[in-house]
Amino acid sequence: MKHVLNICLLAVAFCLLGATAQAQDGKLEINHLDRLTDRATEAVEISLNEAQMRYLARLMMTDRRSETGLIGLFGKLSGVYVRGFEFDKPGEFSAADLNALRAQLRGPGWQRLADVRERNGEQNEIYVLPGKDAIVGWAAISTEPQKLCVINILGPLDLTELSAVEKEFKLSKCGQGSSQTRRLGGKK
């Protein structure tokens, strides 16, 4: 799967944003995708709510090797939610799965920044939820015939911070790896 977080696209997009979103938290309902875990050869789940993000920040403070910037960033994020799946064959997820996500992203405030489609069936969509002074929500949907990845990050963040979250959680590798289910965080 190509790098989901195309930094160049995001840099341009952040420069173009100016509209203010209506008040909403930006958390997408992605739990309906959990049913795909049994069909996947690889499944990634990250579900960190605000309390878990703050705990992670406090935990990182005890590790002298932790980057100070990440500690502050994790302390202000209100959630990181990821679902990633890789399948043996195409057709394991449906258009209805994707349409349920896209319907939420057509809601008040969300803005689509990019929709890149390739002939091989790959599609990458990037959305932001602008707030008064900062981006308060970010979402990406990345699909290939045998892969699906959904990322939802909540809280005020800029491009540098988004890049730090991507590196820490290895979000560009969503749905890739060692053919086992990985979970981080608990169910909310």
Domain spans in the chain, listed from the N-terminal domain onward:
7-13+25-48+77-185
Residue 91 corresponds to which tokens in the numbers above? 């057709």
Q: Residue 175 — left, alpha, or beta (φ > 0 → left; ψ -120 to 50 → alpha)? A: left
**Tokens matching residue 187:** 């169910």
Residue type, 45: E
Cα(124)–Cα(10) distance, rounded to whole angstroms? Answer: 13
The pTM for the full model equals: 0.75
- Residue-wise pLDDT for 143-180, tens only, equals 999 999 999 999 987 777 777 777 766 666 564 443 34
Higher pLDDT: 129 or 73? It is: 129
pLDDT at 44: 92
Please name the residues in contact with 33: beta carbons below 8 A apart, sequence gap of 6 or more: 83, 85, 93, 97, 148, 150
